[in-house]
Structure 1
Amino acid sequence: MLYIEIHQLFKRKLKIAQIAKHLKINRGTVYKYLGMSFEEAQEYLGNPLQKPKKLDPYRDWIVAWLEEYPHLSAAQIQDWLLERHPNLEIGESTVRSYVKEIREIYQIEKKSIVRHYEAVPEQPMAKQLQVDWGETKQKTIRKKEVKLYFIAFVLAHSRYKYMEWLDRPFTTKDAIRCHENAFRFFGGYTEEIVYDQDHLLSVSENAGDLILTSEFQAYIKDRKFRVHLCRKADPESKGMIENVVKYIKGNFADSRVFKDIESWNVSALQWLDRTGNKNVHNTTKKRPVEVFLVEKQHLQPVSPILSLESNHTVIIPRNINKDNTIRFKSNRYSVPVGTYGSQPDNQVYLKIKQDTLIILTQADGEILAEHKISNEKGRLIKNRNHSRDRSKGIEEIKQSVISSFEKQEDARAYIDEICQIYTRYRRDQLAILLSVIKSDPEWINQALQKCIYEKLYSANDFRDVVNYLSKSNTESISAIYKSNIVPTSKTKIKVTTRSISTYTSILEGVSNE
């Protein structure tokens, strides 16, 4: 009994908030039960001598859920029960009648949520798949709020569904990856896929990302399916997927507590298995999972290997940590020392190829590092070549840097000052200088004089000055090439005039010769 558990925890000196968190109920429920005697609780919960019902063992939980979330539907209650008790066999009508009775006994009024359903013409098997995006705000286990994004798929004939979640807005590559995952989930794909035109071109629920890019068009060409863009406010074309998005928000996501995106996606697939694809559909009066068994045979088969692996590989941006590592799936992977601070916004890009993690400078840039992906958690996966080069002493590295400059005395004074300021990080500072000298040798002498004049004694400052000089000169040259004719009205060139006698003397000299 919930009443007994609350009193036992209270006797163990747990606070009200701790009891509520432990039992996953409202604090008001804890206060209410603590204020009752056992006999009062029995009377409150109804006559214990009445005919027992199948859901009576779960009565306290159902009451607590409804008191905290009055808007919950019987379908959600059933899903929560099955999530906690997978072996429970209970019919939908039984849950509906029991929840209705609970509401009447405890005067828990259900908040009315208006839902709009649109008539959609029946589609033949394997003809059409509808796709849409959505977002929700969820409470976390730390009582904070996080925004989550999802993409939903539904087969128009069987109403068989698939969804995938992210804790950040979708990108084009995410959309392509999720399409491939959905096709594998369905065991094939349809002739036509329906999208909301607004969502493809300017998706408000997708952070405005443009999905219909050249990359996505190339993917469509590879997969050879037809795209249908429905008009704005056209429920006849996309009513099914709109209802699926509402269903996911209102049943799966509603009042669910977020822990991490991996476990959230696992729960989503479990929900599809026990509820989303198992419950009888309101329109077809059939279970999607049963109709899907027939429709699946008519889907176009998914090729095991697609050019997606090479042309549409998922690229994931990642920030570089100060210790020159990046995080991926609860592990840290090393990049060469000096990478932190050398990349724009300290960002690199990850590409996953089978069991290998490839770290790139840009989405299509050079490879910084390659690591075998670890299945463990909390590990540091480090390449020995990424450590500092300790085969050379500080003085040897310093001399190598100094010899790269024209004015070596100035360079020596400048580098000595840096080494004195950054005593503990001399090797790192020199490594950055060597990297700059190697990548942009054309501007290092000019940058040296600028840094000395401005008293910028840092390898990072030196690198920034070199980048500035390189960029400024590139833009200047570009501007000259773009402007073939300089308007005379804008020139301020003074022309020196000479007397006529000057030209006469020159001509006389020429004629005499």
Structure 2
Amino acid sequence: MYYTVKTLLSEGKSIREIAKDLGMCRKTISRIKTALDSGKDRPDEQVRTKTLDGYKDLINDYFEDGLTALLIHRRLTTEKGLTVSYPSVARWVERLKKQEVYIPIHCDPGAESQVDFGYMGTFRNHGTPVKVWIFAMVLSYSRYTYYQLVTNQKISSFIECHYKAFEYFGGVPKTIKLDNLKAGVITPDFYEPLLQEQYAGFLAHYNSAPIACRVRRPQEKGKVESAIKYVKNNFLKNFRGTDYDKLICELKVWNEEICNQRVHGTTRKVPQLVFNEREKTALMELPARRYEIMDISARKVSRLAHISYRHNYYSVPAKYVGMQVRLESNGTLLKIYSNQSRIALHSISHAMGLYISLEEHKPEYKRFISRDECYQRMAALGPYAIEVFLQLEQKVPAYWGAMTRGILKLKTSYSEEVINLACKRALRFNALGYQQIKKICESGLYRQDESPENNISFTEGYGHDLSIYDQIIRNN
């Protein structure tokens, strides 16, 4: 407009004529003429202030924290008292999204694979409806892909899918890039993810390393994201029926004959050919044996010194009552740990409601001790102790075990020498039994000098002077 007015003025036309020709107000033409006379050939730029300009840094911080446009709008209106419409905030956030530029990531053969789960829907497994997910592992270089259907996302299923994928490839990639799945990653952290203990052990067994993607960054594992979309659009939409077994069979055929045989949309190459020519030989070798999948859980030890596992109860050492322990099972053996130390090992029973107890887990005073063990432990106390044992075994065959355990328990309070001397005195007075020997230890009678007058003769059988017992338990 400035150039038009300037041209018309140079032709000698008046302000009235120019306004009439252009259909504009004379004041506007007059203002443009004044500006032209002052040396301006265009109007001053008009900057329109926006309500959100003063909150630019705050909105950027909210966006970096992962807040959606709706949550950002809510915080601005409730916490900052700002009067602004949601569409205005949404447009601002959309501009921030467009600022991020994604760079294609290229990998060397055998260097990386990406894994993820995708929900497939509900199918019927032998008449029972089950939710079905699909596990996908994609080799980043060749796009060679392995799929497997699962009915849960437990750590055991997650690991099983991994080693079956490795066996399908015939080798192991150097790194595994995974989403922040609960089965694989506990705390999402791109730089140092805290992986599940068993998943970390599994990767170490196969000499591979994990890389966890950052939160809300699906583009970091875009290859497997595309693989999940591809199986849903190309296979699932073409599948007819709801039978789970049929789904498994048709997926295997589709994986072999279509997925890995088609010309890939990004690389424009056939994944099977690229894998065979370049990537298969670049993978690390499989270990000699599979990783043993363990069922890991935690339990609190009951006051009976047992933990429950699969409808049975297994013992642990009595000192761990009330403590939290970790269980590991491969379906055959049950290992029980306190911190990093294994405290019990059981063979798993397939019965139900059984208490499976080991003698060594019982308290000392409740353990069953065999005759040979009793003999050896009494012999260790001394010759008089072993003589007491032999006589108890002969005279009280029904109670010698309990009496012997009581005598052995005295070691917690008295030395072996004291107990042996107490046995000597008990033999002299024919006062055989745990309580009598205990009283001798407590009263110190084992220190009395032996003298002929203290020797007492007994009649046949059990008849004897009852005052002997008073003498035994009387303090010096």
TM-score by length of 2: 0.40
Q: Which structure has the larger Rg?
A: 2
